[in-house]
Chain A
Amino acid sequence: MNKTVPPDDLDFDEEGPLYVARKKVYPQKVSGTFRRIKWGLMAFCLGVYYLLPFVRWHRGLGAPDQAVLIDFPNRRFYFFFIELWPQEVYYFTGLLILAALTLFLMNALGGRIWCGYLCPQTVWTDLFYAVERWTEGDRRERIKADAAPMTAARLGRRALKHFIWLMIAWWTGGAWVLYFSDAPTLVKDLATFQAPAVAYIWIGILTATTYVLAGHMREQVCVYMCPWPRIQAALTDEWALNVTYKYDRGEPRCSVKKAVDLRAHGEKVGDCIDCNQCVAVCPTGIDIRDGAQLGCIQCGLCIDACDSVMKKVGRPTRLIGYDNDINVQRRIAGKKEIFKPVRARTIVYAGVIAVVCSVMLYALLTRSLLDLNVLHDRNPVAVRLSDGSIRNGYTLRFLNKRGFDRVVAVDIDGPPGAKIHVIGADSAIPDRPMIVLGRDSTTEMRVLVTVPFNEKADKTVPIKFRVTDVGLGEATSATDHFVVP
């Protein structure tokens, strides 16, 4: 039947609104291998996050005994046996490079492993969905309840859900601030309302972000906000394994009964029975059978869902599984599957990771625990004394990164006849001042270097300050200039 469509209506249908409203996702409960892996990783990640501040690490008297501590007031970062000073934050640059490269390597091997299993957004959203299922019921119940008018019982369940969500969010924010202060003390202070306001403010901020991001924004963060899916798509190659619907096996889709019938007649039938379980369990609400796509975080839950269906209908599992298009095409062509986890891309990533790791490890193991900075007086740069000799003033800054006090001697390699005098230092040995450096701290000393009168003295000559730990023999040096006016 031919129906005439008025041109105006046609326009309307074709163009439509510019924005698509969000379709609420109701992920269904699922069990299987990948669900178990996800539970395990969630327990591990959250366990580390929530409990790490309480782990103790003895560092000697006067030093904090928290294993991981970012101590802003004293400008120190503690990580088990490592203690970093502010000028050493370049180690974090190394860590960031490592994190990026590890992300690339994971992507080259198994696609969005980070997104599917480890990303905080995924982990907390997963936890929040579990709470939602526990309080409001599984997918069907929630869809039905949302469509029906609100009842008192449902309101109660929903309130319970939000309460638990807020508790988790609050605990998340609370754990965050514990990394910045002695955890047991701060917990006590927080409980008795003695903690500094900034602690409560940050707990509030992180409670809000956790609640909003994991409870309400969910998959929209991955689809609209996160840059990684875009970068990931540009970084991937044809050998990377991704959660893939093996359409060579699945198509054409067919109901179970019909499939049995058709198979009996020797016709080609796909394994996919179009039960939509893969869509029902998906936390981002996509259909994996449409192929690799931006919305897929590759959490593997559709693999579990499909496997359980395949078992029930007596067909081989892994109709959806970690696979790539090359293998799909090879199977269609009747060839054997091939996997290439070791290839140029992964070798390069692994190699660069190894190099960065070695450089960082080397830098960390060989870093000096005694440092010296020299600052030449700027005004006046040089002073002429009454006997005609020249004196230059310097500020020497000693960094003692060890957890105990120590005594250092200062020597100079400079112009001939140069004599050193440290203001406020013990000068028991003439010309070799001894200075006491407090534990884990910076000491500043004013140092005067005097060179006897010499008509032919150069304008400016280099001078080297050598500092030697009298007890340990550890030494360092710094160079500057001796200025003659």
Chain B
Amino acid sequence: MTDHHEIDHVSGRSTTGHEWDGIKELNTPLPRWWVLTFYATILWAVGYWVVYPAWPLVSGYTTGILHYTNRAAVAKDLAELEAIRGDKMKVLAGASLADIENDPNLLSLARARGKTVFADNCAPCHGTGAAGAKGYPNLNDDDWLWGGTLEQISQTIQFGARSGNPKAHEGQMLAFGRDGILKPEQIVTVANYVRSLSGLSTEPGYNAAEGKKIFAENCAACHGNEGKGNQEVGAPNLTDKIWLYGSDEATIVETITNGRAGVMPAWTGRLDPVTIKIMTVYVHSLGGGK
């Protein structure tokens, strides 16, 4: 062992006394500023225990003198956000649907907020871009089951369709096959007739007169004599190019056999009136609004 206080000539520092193959290790303690910073962080941690929630107790925990909780912080942030929105929301609350749509500022406000609300509430069924899916209407097009005016859209959003709400849209596509109203071959015939209404091809040998007769007796009550539909009962227009469930023969046969009863939930009570207003304008402005 060499003396611990040996001084290395080159660096002017002391060595640790360790030596390997003639190479000595310099004594390089942690810098004083580093050590002091380290102690300061320990003190800081103790301060943390005093100020913030820290230690678990038998029932509960030490809350710290600030009584800070994440939940309260989030609630406070949300309240602040609502306060910021407050004025603008008040303006929207006071304006009529048509007013909002005619004022570029209000419209862009409603569209911005509407996009978020739509993504949170409507997108699961209608898709993020409101393009819909099989059984879920595309809200961008001009084909509306229950009407596409501002008032009609507002009505649909508030009370829904077949939602159980007393004011909901009601209307039913009967299960003509399952309930034995029409025979399978009659269903195929009328399905071909329905396809012909919108100019789609029909099977060779299909009896058009028979199809027209079955349609007039069973379907015209809701869909109208010409198959143009009826928004009062949510009966779709069968002469257009838009098909909620599909336009191939098999799908139409299935629709006639088992019926259809898509549900749109009622949003009144879940969304506040201003938000429903915003959503009405948003959906109306997607492109298909009447």
Contacts and interface: CB of A to CB of B under 8 A. Distances in A.
A393 interface: yes
A385 B285 contact: no
A290 interface: no
Given A379-B131, A448-B287, A17 B140 contact: no
A8 B101 CA distance: 94
Nearest to A17: B12
B10 A17 contact: yes
Contacts of A383: 131, 138, 140-141, 287-288
A453 interface: yes
A238 interface: no
A265 interface: no
Contacts of B141: 383-386, 391
Q: Is the interface of B mostly helix, strand, loop or mixed?
A: loop
A12 B287 CA distance: 88
Contact of B9 (A12, A377, A380, A453): A12
Interface in A418-455: 423-424, 436, 444, 446, 448, 453
A378 interface: yes
A269 B107 CA distance: 91
A17 B12 CA distance: 6
Contact of B129 (A379, A384, A444): A379
A146 interface: no
Contact of A15 (B10, B108, B285): B10
A11 interface: yes
Of the four ranges (under 10, 10 to 19, 20 to 34, 35 or more), the interface on chain A belongs to: 20 to 34
A388 interface: yes
Contacts of B108: 424, 444
A387 interface: yes
Interface in B1-58: 9-12
Q: Secondary structure of the A side of the interface?
A: loop
Contacts of B285: 423-424, 446
Given A15-B10, A423-B285, A424-B104, A387 B241 contact: yes
B241 A380 contact: no
Tell which of A383, A388, A391, A444 has the most Cβ of chain B within 10 Å: A383
A468 B287 CA distance: 24
Contact of B143 (A12, A386, A444): A386
Nearest to B127: A379
Contacts of A386: 141-143, 237, 240-242
Most B-side CB within 10 Å, residue of A17, A378, A380, A388? A380
B11 A453 contact: no
A18 interface: yes
A386 B197 CA distance: 13
Interface residues of B, number: 28
A387 B240 contact: yes
Contacts of B129: 377-380
A11 B130 CA distance: 84
A270 B91 CA distance: 90
Contacts of A423: 107, 285, 287
B240 A391 contact: no
Contacts of B241: 384-388, 453
Given A385-B142, A385-B241, A17 B101 contact: no
> Which of A11, A12, A384: most chain B CB closer than 10 A?
A384
A380 B131 contact: yes
Nearest to A8: B9
A198 B84 CA distance: 22
B128 interface: yes
Q: Which of B9, B107, B108 has the most CB of A within 10 A?
A: B9
Contacts of A387: 240-241
A424 B107 contact: yes
Contacts of B130: 380
A402 B8 CA distance: 72
B145 to A, nearest CB: 12
Interface in A12-49: 12, 15-18
Interface in B237-268: 237, 240-242
B223 interface: no
Interface string A357-388: 00000000000000000000111100111111
B9 A15 contact: yes
Interface string B134-152: 0000101111000000000
A448 B289 CA distance: 12
B12 A393 contact: no
Nearest to A389: B241
B81 to A, nearest CB: 19
Nearest to A423: B285
A16 B11 CA distance: 7
B111 interface: yes
Contacts of B288: 383, 385
Contacts of A17: 10-12
A384 B242 contact: yes
A453 B242 CA distance: 13
Contacts of B101: 424
B260 to A, nearest CB: 18
Given A12-B9, A388-B240, 5 more contacts: A18-B11, A380-B130, A380-B140, A383-B141, A384-B141
- Nearest 6 pairs of A and B residues by beta carbon: A379-B129, A380-B131, A386-B240, A388-B241, A383-B140, A386-B143
8 contacts: A18-B10, A379-B128, A383-B141, A383-B287, A385-B142, A385-B242, A391-B287, A446-B285
Interface of A: 11-12, 15-18, 377-380, 383-388, 391, 393, 423-424, 436, 444, 446, 448, 453
Interface of B: 9-12, 101-102, 104, 107-108, 111, 127-131, 138, 140-143, 237, 240-242, 285-288
